[in-house]
Structure 1
């Protein structure tokens, strides 16, 4: 009887652990919760990408030449200028 209880407890633990592991893999990888407060020079930015639509706030992640990621507000005019500059530079 005791081994049955231990076996059932192990099965319950494995089931709960698999739920936790699966749930963490479903969400988006990169989300921004705050925006960088200052302007970034466009010459320092090598690329950019948008955050996932499932994130709590939409953002642009600027990738610098030193592979640093900076979260910025996509509605700002200087951010849109950097995005345009990077797009034109890639052609």
Structure 2
């Protein structure tokens, strides 16, 4: 009787683990869960990209000269200014 309970518990555990593993593969690659709290100098930022719309928070990932990736709020004026400067430099 105990063997049947242990077997049932193992089967349920494996089923739960497989659903968690499958859900992780479907999600977006990178999301912003918190934003950088301070203003950045626009001269250290070399590029940016937006997070996917499947993320809970919309964000801008600013890439610095040292290849650091920093999440920022796209609605802030200083972030919009950095994005505008980078876009103008690329043309």
Normalised by the length of structure 2, the TM-score is 0.79
Q: Quick check: 5-14 or 49-58, which moved more?
A: 5-14
- Tell me the distance in 1 between the aligned counterparts of 2:75 and 2:37: 13
Question: Which residue in 2 is equivalent to 1:55?
Answer: 55
Aligned pair count?
A: 90
1:10-61 deviations in Å (ceiling 9; x for gaps): 7766554432222101111111121111111111011101111121111111
1:10-89 pair list within 5 angstroms: 15-89=15-89
Give unmatched runs, 5+ long, in structure 2.
Answer: none
CA RMSD of aligned residues (A): 2.1
- Tell me the distance in 2 between the aligned counterparts of 1:41 and 1:18: 45
Normalised by the length of structure 1, the TM-score is 0.79
